[in-house]
Amino acid sequence: MANQLHVELVAVERKVWSGEAEMVVARTTEGELGVLPGHAPLLGQLAEPGQVRIKLAGGQEMAYDVSGGFLSVGADGVTVLAESCEPAAAPVR
């Protein structure tokens, strides 16, 4: 599976999701951010209220409502550390 990101979505109390994805979209205090494989390293503060969308191979998308926390992009993938995280009823567009 070429061009995949390793994604870790972690809340204070537990690991919510971990796996491979084509793209991660999150709203930070600086604006909405899309992360693709090869993205430059960065650290962003998640906006409140916020949502993190994880786009999987084949077009499937998962969305999580998050509160507080950070998004970290590094050479090994994307890590989202949130104070709270719950599956979203529907993705926000």
Look up the domain containing 76 and give its range: 5-86
- Is position 92 within any domain? no
Residue 4's DSSP bridge partners are none
Structural domain contains residue 9: yes
pLDDT in tens, the chain (93 residues): 458 999 999 999 899 999 999 999 999 999 999 999 999 999 999 999 899 999 998 889 999 999 999 999 998 899 999 999 999 986 555
In a domain, 57, yes or no: yes
Residue 80 resides in a domain: yes
The closest alpha carbon to 92, from 4, 42, 21, 32, belongs to 32
Answer whether 71's CB lies under 8 Å from 41's CB: no
How many separate domains does the chain show? 1
Q: What is the CATH number of the domain that holds 44?
A: 2.60.15.10
Instruction: Classify residue 91: in a domain, yes or no.
Output: no
Closest CA to 50 of 92, 17, 8: 92
